[in-house]
Amino acid sequence: MVDLVQGVSATARVGLFIARYNAYRFDSRKEDDRSLRRCLMERLNSARDHATNVLDYAQRNDNRDLRHQIKQTIDAIDIFKNDSNLAETGHKRPFFSSKSAASVGSLNRLVELDAAVLEETERITKALGELVKAVAAGEEGVVSASGNIWSAVTAAHNHFSKRIHYIKGFGD
């Protein structure tokens, strides 16, 4: 019973981001995967826009440390976006075939991974939005904050990679 409650909770968490999410019900796996990646791309594009604004401020104010840190963040976001976009080839995996039978537990684990990735990217986007405001206000500690955000992008990307590896493992 605990697994069912956790699965519903994760599904509800993903549902906050994706309206038509079906938790990989057999006939909607490709659609759910596509919806997740589309939502992820929107969040990452928004995060990149915020990071670009921070970079603009850093260049105008000749803040080399912030400029360096935010360029690394933008690079990490771009790599994450590319991996998310290229993950579409995952549809050739056994998980998406008509012969695949995934257990409830494995589907719940996948939904939990989806929720974690979406929540992390949402936090990154919000943090970058706040960083734009902090830089514009001339607040202290923005370089340190940008380093934490870069680390968060890397962590979210790693969660997404775990998700892809998890999907690849179905049916093997």
For the chain, give every domain's residue range: 2-169
- The whole-angstrom separation of Cα 107 and Cα 122 is 23
Sign of CA dihedral 88, 89, 90, 94: positive
Q: Does domain 2-169 have CATH number 1.20.120?
A: yes
Q: Residue 10: pLDDT above 90?
A: no
Higher-confidence position of 168 and 135: 135
- What is residue 53's predicted lDDT score, i.e. its pLDDT? 95
- What is residue 2's predicted lDDT score, i.e. its pLDDT? 39
CA 146 → CA 76, 131, 141, distances in Å?
12, 7, 9
Q: Residue 155: pLDDT above 90?
A: yes
Q: Are 17 and 122 in contact (CB under 8 A)?
A: yes
Average pLDDT, the chain: 78
Q: Residue 93: pLDDT above 70?
A: no
Average pLDDT of the residues in 63-84: 93
Closest by Cα among 11, 85, 91 to 45: 85
Higher-confidence position of 45 and 10: 45
